[in-house]
DNA sequence: CTGAAAGCGCTTACAG
DNA sequence: CTGAAAGCGCTTACAG
């Protein structure tokens, strides 16, 4: 014992294709063919190779495989990481970004069916070289999925010429595809519900971060309905939640501190910021939905556990991820000009639907096992 | 236009090190040295290279870099994916695995500081070749972090001889390191609180999935305290929540259906299953904490939003991830027998602490802006 | 300090 | 059907 050098150090190198070829008594080309189902090797060759593979526990090295001409079978996913607010009591909620995490899970499930893995990187846009790091990620991947505006249009253009890129909640470009929820119809339904069913006449839109296409189109859809009904919509810099609980709470705190009169309903750009709004209102003894109605967007899982339960617009969050992957996968042809290229420039909208709960002013559903949730009990 | 072949297809290949060398008028070796800070090239050489790099937007290919002898700068992360319960109303909560997702975020933040990315893969242990897929992931990575028992001891042993492996909530082996929260002291504090402060005499332990070291040690710590106090502890197969909300709800439903008398307090192996327990109890009109107290473990963000607010044992979830990465990083030396090898076999415990809220029977904290939360309002 | 060359572990035309 | 060989894009001894 201890004489075999492979035994002395705990970490023996994994076997290579050469080891397999040697023990199988064939060439490395045959090994490769058997493993990749290329041509069709003689039954005996196949068996000998498979036996050797099993015996050695061989698994091809990903880097070598990729360099040899095949795909890396990795897609890069870039998530935007929010800045921390030091004085925030919402740090945990913000760090627990349910929305992007669930999107990623949707991607992963589909990616796995194609043998792909997800290389996830979150970037803080305040870092000076966020762009560089995304390009570095691209060189480890066969394609990239970018959440929510992480790159300047110029950088995105350069990147998407080198490697297939799908954006989520962005805008399509000639070389990229965008996937997003149908903000218009979702917000339209929500706005009508508030204006028509609940007869609210003054509303506010708590926006997401600046330049977010989702935030913009939700805001516009809301504004259109409000205008059509002759109601009043409050917007502007003081109404900006940046998609975070802390941002939503801050906005409300400042408005109250400034003595601003609150609208009858606050329509938040997403659920996360609605959580902060609910919190801030409750601190000031403002009843929801009695004094002010509050709504979200996305319908993340926690929405139904809030108090009051949050009315929101449901997106099939995992579908967003799954669709983004499927789209990207189609674009990852071997080489350029493949079939996938035809798809570029598209803007794919996935359906959304209004979910009425209590925070908009609707009554709790009638008691009964089928419709009760934890939040309603007691 | 359209004559340059690079223009005709949208996807021009990214520049290689040869392109850089050519435009800089140096050898590829010099380019490599400048970029990796090896030796120290003449100032002029460095400048020419950097200029060419900037001009071409060069970024080295990850696969080639890895094959050339450097690291892949990727670590594989394997998460255990729960089986879906078809009849579950908790699908969303289960899919939103807050605990592992937050651990991964903790890893990622630290990984980024070392230039590493996370290759995330979740496995369903019911798939026959879950093991194979983990080995495949290993060949795309420099090291692996395994959540919560995803590999048989034999497979883990084989794998950890080929590549550095850190487990989370597992057990250390001679070739791996394990990272976990300090279950004993956390559960001891919780158990004493229930038994001494609240004087509960009959408790139950709703376990996690079978064989989970976390579940076992939490259960044992609880049992020890209960025994020391001469109180009663219910356990067994009917008290198994599998760490999921659906599992917790099911267990309660079955116990009630079977006419079992419930204990005064149900101690859940984690928060997620406590959510299900709360839900099931409320469906049957059983008051928490009035009739039955319920507690969790982990203190995931949603815990404070439940009703009643969930008493739990807090782990610094992101620290678990950060520590796992740092440990793995230390093990990834160049080649075997490096300094990192000395560390193998360790079992690293991170501190935990009891967080008392309402579900154990404690009073709500006194009203006041500093201590109020959304869940208490209204 | 720098360049020519070998090598990393695969895949895939190219011959046979 | 199979093997010898070139090539993928890097890094790094080895010479100079």
| A41 C-beta less than 7 Å away from strand D | yes
Interchain CB contacts (distance < 8 Å): A and B = 218
- Are A193 and A354 in contact by the 8 Å Cβ rule? The answer is yes
pLDDT surpassing 60 at residue A378 = no
> Average pLDDT over chain A, rounded to whole?
86
Nearest to B374 among A95, A104, A279 (CB): A279
pLDDT at residue number B217:
96
Q: Taking CB atoms and an 8 Å cutoff, what residues of chain B touch A72?
A: 62-63, 140
- Contacts with A, B 296-325, CB within 8 Å: 300-302, 305-308, 318
Spell out the per-residue pLDDT of chain B, length 378, in tens.
333 333 344 456 899 999 999 999 999 999 999 999 888 888 889 999 999 999 999 999 999 999 998 899 999 999 987 665 444 455 554 455 678 888 998 999 899 889 999 999 988 877 878 889 999 999 999 999 999 888 989 999 999 999 999 999 999 999 999 999 999 999 999 999 999 999 999 999 999 988 889 999 999 999 999 999 999 999 999 999 988 888 999 999 999 999 999 999 999 999 999 999 999 999 999 999 999 999 999 998 888 878 899 999 999 988 999 999 999 999 997 444 444 555 677 899 999 999 999 999 998 765 444 333 333 332
Cα–Cα distance, B257 to A175 (Å, whole number): 59
Q: Which domains does chain B have, with CATH numbers?
A: 17-70 (1.10.260.40), 74-181+317-350 (3.40.50.2300), 183-315+354-375 (3.40.50.2300)
Do A63 and B72 make contact, defined as CB atoms within 8 angstroms? yes
Q: Taking CB atoms and an 8 Å cutoff, what residues of chain A touch B127?
A: none
- Both structure tokens of A112: 């796995």
Q: Taking CB atoms and an 8 Å cutoff, what residues of chain A touch B375?
A: 307
Q: Taking CB atoms and an 8 Å cutoff, what residues of chain B touch A76?
A: 117
How does residue A5 score in pLDDT terms, banded at 50, 70 and 90? very low
How much is the pTM?
Answer: 0.85
| Nucleic acid strand C: bases within 7 A of protein CB | 1-5, 7-13
Do A372 and B282 make contact, defined as CB atoms within 8 angstroms? yes
Mutate: best of A16, A122, A140, A358, partner B, most B CBs <10 A: A140
Q: Does A154 touch chain B (CB under 8 A)?
A: no
The DSSP output letter for B169 is: S
Cα–Cα distance, B60 to A139 (Å, whole number): 7
Mutate: best of A57, A58, A92, A138, partner B, most B CBs <10 A: A92
Mutate: best of A305, A310, A330, A335, partner B, most B CBs <10 A: A305
| A371 C-beta less than 7 Å away from strand D | no
Closest CA–CA distance from residue A233 to any residue of chain B (Å): 26
Do B307 and A92 make contact, defined as CB atoms within 8 angstroms? no
> Which nucleotide lies closest to B32 by the C1' atom and the CA atom?
D11
Give me the residue label for tokens 């995490």.
Answer: A101
Q: Does A121 touch chain B (CB under 8 A)?
A: yes
pLDDT surpassing 70 at residue A289 = yes
Query: Angle between the B130-138 and B153-162 helix axes, to the nearest 10 degrees?
Result: 10
Q: Taking CB atoms and an 8 Å cutoff, what residues of chain B touch A132?
A: 59
- Specify the range with the lowest mean pLDDT, choosing from A69-78, A312-321, A368-377: A368-377
Q: Does B2 touch chain A (CB under 8 A)?
A: no
Give me the residue label for tokens 């160049």.
Answer: B334
Cα–Cα–Cα angle for A216, A217, A221, nearest 5°? 120
- Contacts with A, B 266-295, CB within 8 Å: 275, 278-279, 282-283, 287-288
> Which nucleotide lies closest to A42 by the C1' atom and the CA atom?
D1
Q: What is the mean pLDDT of residues A248-257?
A: 95
- Residue B271 CB partners (closer than 8 Å, separation 6+): B99, B296, B297, B298, B299, B300, B302, B303, B310, B312
- Specify the range with the lowest mean pLDDT, choosing from A91-105, A220-234, A264-278: A91-105
- Both structure tokens of A337: 């000009």
Footprint of strand C on the protein (CB under 7 A): A 13, 16-18, 28-29, 31-33, 35-36, 38, 58, 60-61, 64-65, 67-70; B 26-30, 33, 39-42, 44-45, 67-69
User: Tell me: the pLDDT tens digits for A89-119?
Assistant: 555 544 556 788 889 989 998 999 899 999 9
- Residue A135 CB partners (closer than 8 Å, separation 6+): A155, A159, B57, B59
DSSP for B277-327, please give it: HHHHHHHTT--TTTT-EEE-SB--GGGGGSSSPPBEEEE-HHHHHHHHHHH
- Residue A305 CB partners (closer than 8 Å, separation 6+): A373, A374, A375, B302, B305, B306, B307
Q: Are strands A117-123 and B117-123 parallel, antiparallel or unpaired?
A: antiparallel
Q: Which residue has the least CA–C1' distance to nucleotide C13?
A: A29
| B34 C-beta less than 7 Å away from strand D | no
Closest CA–CA distance from residue A68 to any residue of chain B (Å): 10
> Which nucleotide lies closest to B42 by the C1' atom and the CA atom?
C1
pLDDT at residue number A105:
87
pLDDT surpassing 80 at residue A329 = yes
Nearest to B10 among A63, A122, A175 (CB): A175
Mutate: best of B77, B111, B287, B301, partner A, most A CBs <10 A: B301
């Amino acid at each position: 014992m201890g004489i075999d050098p492979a035994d002395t150090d705990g970490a023996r190198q994994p076997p290579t294709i050469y080891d397999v070829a040697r023990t199988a008594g064939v060439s490395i080309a045959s090994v490769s063919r058997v493993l990749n189902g290329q041509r069709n090797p003689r039954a005996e060759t196949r068996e000998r190779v498979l036996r050797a593979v099993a015996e050695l526990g061989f698994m091809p090295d990903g880097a070598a495989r990729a360099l040899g001409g095949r795909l890396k079978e990795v897609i890069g996913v870039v998530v935007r990481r929010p800045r921390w607010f030091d004085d925030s009591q919402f740090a945990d909620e913000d760090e627990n970004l349910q929305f992007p995490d669930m999107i990623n899970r949707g991607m992963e499930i589909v990616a796995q069916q194609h043998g792909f893995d997800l290389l996830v990187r979150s970037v803080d846009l305040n870092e000076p070289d966020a762009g560089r790091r995304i390009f570095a990620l691209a060189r480890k991947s066969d394609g990239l999925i970018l959440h929510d505006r992480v790159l300047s249009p110029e950088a995105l253009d350069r990147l998407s010429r080198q490697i297939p890129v799908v954006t989520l909640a962005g805008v399509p470009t000639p070389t990229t595809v965008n996937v997003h929820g149908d903000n218009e119809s979702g917000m339209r339904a929500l706005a009508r519900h508030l204006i028509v069913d609940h007869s609210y006449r003054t509303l506010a839109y708590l926006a997401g971060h600046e330049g977010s296409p989702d935030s913009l189109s939700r805001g516009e859809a809301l504004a259109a309905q409000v205008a059509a009904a002759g109601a009043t919509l409050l917007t502007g810099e003081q109404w900006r939640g940046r998609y975070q609980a802390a941002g939503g709470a801050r906005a409300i705190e400042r408005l109250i501190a400034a003595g601003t009169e609150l609208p009858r309903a606050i329509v938040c750009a997403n659920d996360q910021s609605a959580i902060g709004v609910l919190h801030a209102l409750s601190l000031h003894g403002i009843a929801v939905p009695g004094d002010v109605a509050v709504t979200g967007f996305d319908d993340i899982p926690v929405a139904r556990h809030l108090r009051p339960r949050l009315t929101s617009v449901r997106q099939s969050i995992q579908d967003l991820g799954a669709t983004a992957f499927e789209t990207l996968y189609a674009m990852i042809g071997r080489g350029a000009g493949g079939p996938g290229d035809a798809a570029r420039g598209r803007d794919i909208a996935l359906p959304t639907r209004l979910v009425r709960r209590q925070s908009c002013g609707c009554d709790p559903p009638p008691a009964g096992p089928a419709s009760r949730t934890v939040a309603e009990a007691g």
